[in-house]
């Protein structure tokens, strides 16, 4: 199965601070350009511009044409569902290629997490993948 091109960020710290800035209206990016980030991007072009200016090292594939930012409130639960194509591709890789489902690098670096055993049964790998997707969806970026 061909690799799915995805939105990727090299510096998750900068990305996280951009998200915090957009969510709170308080500058978490810092530096002389900080106030430039207070306005949430409304287009892919604005998103790419802010990511580049902040130095996040992001790749936003050209296939993306629209941007939607949703935010939960005290009375509104916003569920951000993952894109179907890469989700299905990951499941197929786990089933057919024996690929594992490893935590993000920062977990490994900061929390001394142990990599998953590549010899685990496919069912276990799929369960870990499903738990990660479910956790991502319900945490609401807390």
55 shares its domain with 88: no
Question: Per-residue confidence at 136, pLDDT binned at 50, 70, 90?
Answer: low
Number of structural domains (the chain) is: 2
If pLDDT is split at 50, 70 and 90, which confidence band does 66 have?
Answer: very high
- State how far the alpha carbon of 53 is from the alpha carbons of 30, 45, 47, 81, 108, in Å: 12, 12, 10, 28, 28
> pTM for the whole thing?
0.73
Q: Is residue 3 assigned to a domain?
A: no
Q: Which residues pair with 58 in a beta bridge?
A: 9
Structure letter (DSSP) for residue 32:
T
Q: Is residue 20 part of a domain?
A: yes
In terms of residue numbers, what domain contains 33?
8-59
72 in a domain, yes or no? no
For tokens 């936003």, the residue is: 60
Q: Is there a single domain that holds both residue 54 and residue 89?
A: no
Instruction: Tell whether 73 is covered by a domain.
Output: no
* Confidence check: pLDDT of 60 > 90: yes
At 44 the pLDDT is: 97
- Pairwise CA distance, residues 29 & 22, whole Å: 10
Looking at the domain assignment, is residue 77 inside a domain? Answer: no
């Amino acid at each position: 199965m061909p690799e799915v091109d995805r939105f990727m960020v090299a510096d998750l710290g900068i990305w996280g601070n951009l998200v915090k800035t957009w969510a709170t209206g308080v500058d978490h990016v810092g530096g002389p350009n900080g106030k430039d980030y207070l306005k949430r991007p409304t287009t892919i072009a604005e998103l790419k511009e802010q990511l580049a200016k902040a130095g996040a090292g992001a790749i936003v594939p050209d296939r993306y044409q629209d941007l939607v930012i949703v935010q939960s409130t005290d009375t509104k639960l916003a569920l951000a569902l993952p894109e179907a194509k890469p989700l299905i591709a990951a499941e197929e890789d786990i089933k057919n290629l024996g690929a594992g489902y490893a935590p993000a690098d920062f977990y490994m670096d900061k929390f001394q997490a142990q990599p998953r055993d590549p010899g685990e049964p496919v069912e276990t790998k799929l369960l870990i993948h499903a738990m990660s997707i479910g956790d991502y969806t319900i945490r609401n970026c807390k």
